[in-house]
Amino acid sequence: MDRLPVLGVRIEGTRIVPSADIFHLAAVPMDQRLYDVQLAEVRDRVRRNPFVRDVAVHRDPPDRILIQVEERTPVAVVAAHNTFYVDAEGMLMPVIRSEDAFDLPIITGVAKVQSCETGRRLTHPAIREALLLVMAARQLHDGLYRRISEVHVDVSGDLLMYTADTGVPVVVGRGDITTKLEKFEAFWSAMVTNRGAHTLASVDLRFADQVVVRWTNSDEQMTN
């Protein structure tokens, strides 16, 4: 049995990357005997795909190689000189067509503080905090995550968020991201849901224990 050549390759775990791309990247030598295939080399080749977070390669007797892929999941879009997907670890990936449609918040202002390229990880503290904001919103409430259209990283490092509904600017600043998002979600549910986002001019989350709000037809006011 150990003298039989490889007759097939089974690929598991792909959702974003077409299995055909993994097959071609793996370049499993189909004319070799199963136990002569260098699994580590196959693994290294597959890991070159920026969407592949990890991969395991096994022999699957009597005549197959099994490739199990763990993909990176995009959580936001980074708009720089090019457009990239980014995952929770800050890894940049190209924007590709996929059967899964990604409706993701956009992180802007990145190019002013860090260069971006596929396969590179975002490391600047302000950008990492913008990514933390997106991830915290996702964990707190899906509606909150979907409410975020854009997170802008200012050259000063402060974060500015825009809502998907009417593009309301929300000044976030830095630090205490989860607490600020919780305050924002409570305020939105209590006040904006009934009044409508079109009545809201801006929101400032930088003050402790309160949300500073400007409505479209009134002066600035404090809301707990």
Domains of the chain: 8-71 (3.10.20.310), 76-223 (3.40.50.11690)
pLDDT digits (tens, 9 = 90+) for 96-143: 876 655 789 999 998 888 888 899 999 999 999 999 999 999 999 888
The dihedral sign for the CA sequence 86, 92, 97, 98: negative
Residue 55: per-residue pLDDT: 97
Give the residue, 59 or 103, on which the prediction is more confident.
59
Burial class (CB in 10 A: 0-12, 13-18, 19+), 167: exposed
HSE-up of residue 65 (Cα within 13 Å, Cβ side): 29
DSSP string, 5-38: BP-EEEEES-SSS-HHHHHHHH---TTSBGGGS-
- State the pTM of this model: 0.84
Q: What is the mean pLDDT of residues 38-46?
A: 96
- Judged against a pLDDT cut of 60, whether residue 219 lies above it is answered with no
User: What share of the chain has pLDDT > 90, as a percent?
Assistant: 65
Q: Hey, which residues does 223 pair with through a beta bridge?
A: 211
pLDDT digits (tens, 9 = 90+) for 138-192: 999 888 999 999 999 988 889 999 999 889 999 999 989 999 999 999 999 888 8
Pairing mode, strands 52-60 and 220-223: unpaired
DSSP summary character for residue 198: G
Sorting pLDDT into bands at 50, 70 and 90, what band is 1? low
CA–CA gap between residue 60 and residue 132 (Å, rounded): 40
Cα–Cα–Cα angle for 103, 109, 110, nearest 5°?
Answer: 85
The dihedral sign for the CA sequence 196, 141, 84, 128: positive
Task: Please choose, from the candidates 200, 202, 182, the residue with its C-alpha nearest in 3D space to the C-alpha of residue 191.
Answer: 200
- Judged against a pLDDT cut of 90, whether residue 27 lies above it is answered with yes
CA 28 to chain centre: 31
Query: Euclidean distance between the first and final Cα of the chain, in Å?
Result: 73
CA–CA gap between residue 135 and residue 70 (Å, rounded): 19
